[in-house]
Homo-oligomer: A and B are copies of this chain.
């Protein structure tokens, strides 16, 4: 009693009618093709009875539309991306779209080969956190000629492509100003050594602020590989040793902050008495940590909503009418214990 795989052809035989009729009924095109109500009813009933569902591959092959959206993030196990992924998936499934996701691991070659791969799967759209070094022309061509691409989290300054990012510059300023307003005036900045736009903007905000307040910029750039291999602690230790005058540290990402705070505790540093701490991008850990950590919060659900709305809006627009849409969402400040001035 192996379950028969129904095809539209088989149904046509069963019912003694043509496949065309069935296809019309199934796709809501029965009326406009003058299929009689009796026939519509007959088809619908039978289809329901046997639980037939059309083969999506054949459908996609014919229509050129796969209802698949590729979601490529740096790393899905990063809670920020996982959260966005979930929100996007929920929205997409309402519209009968499926999400294929994959991690770029910040590898531009892997990313390109993935895009090619999914392109052959006739993916309808791409949402991507572009890794450093992604070939600009490659993205350009895709943007112009193929499936819509929306970059997020960061953008590529050289490419005129739709994107959804947050106000990294203003957000960093917001956080730094809060530190200054709280009486911290010797702020160190720990970031990744990265060219990506979001990191660039955060750093720039810090540098501008230093210039405006006649502060000496104290910057530590941690290479990506050093972070991956856990070697960042030496770098941070050196940085702290060389700059004992600092009264606050701004971490440019939450994962840097998590490692950094652990290290500070190991060094016996009392937060915020010895050193105030603030991080860009919130994290569950910051809320529950002792002391709790102040952070700049990205509006996750707004990001997800924007991404998916922009995607569907683009998909609905004729390919030659499409224009890049660039969205920058505001961030907010979550003030907790780690920036409370106790002196």
Contact = CB atoms under 8 A, between A and B. Distances in A.
A309 B296 CA distance: 41
Contact of A61 (B58, B83, B100): B58
Interface in A65-95: 66, 75-79, 82-83, 85-86, 89-90, 93
Question: What are the 4 tightest A-B residue pairs by CB atom distance, in nearest-first order?
Answer: A290-B290, A82-B82, A77-B82, A77-B86
Contact of A89 (B61, B76, B79, B120): B76
Contact of A102 (B61, B98, B117): B98
Contacts of A141: 3
A102 to B, nearest CB: 6
Contacts of A262: 287-288
A312 interface: no
A30 to B, nearest CB: 21
A119 B3 CA distance: 13
A55 interface: yes
Contact of A122 (B57, B66, B79): B57
Interface string A86-119: 1001100100001111110000000000101111
A288 B288 CA distance: 10
B98 A98 contact: no
A57 to B, nearest CB: 5
Contacts of A118: 98
Interface string A267-287: 000000000000000001101
21 contacts: A2-B145, A3-B146, A55-B120, A57-B61, A57-B66, A58-B61, A76-B76, A77-B82, A77-B85, A78-B82, A89-B101, A89-B103, A93-B102, A98-B100, A98-B118, A99-B101, A99-B102, A101-B101, A258-B284, A258-B288, A262-B288
A121 interface: yes
A100 B99 contact: yes
Nearest to A122: B57
B53 A61 contact: no
Contacts of A258: 284, 288
A83 to B, nearest CB: 5
A317 interface: no
Nearest to A119: B53
A60 interface: yes
Nearest to A70: B98
Given A56-B120, A265-B290, 4 more contacts: A2-B145, A76-B82, A89-B103, A93-B114
A53 B78 CA distance: 32
Nearest to A98: B100
Contact of A121 (B57, B90, B116, B285): B57
Nearest to A255: B284
Name which of A57, A116, A146, A290 has the most chain B CB atoms within 10 A of its CB.
A57
Contacts of A76: 76, 82, 85-86, 89
Interface in A116-173: 116-122, 141, 145-146
B79 A75 contact: no
A258 B287 CA distance: 10
A28 interface: no
A330 interface: no
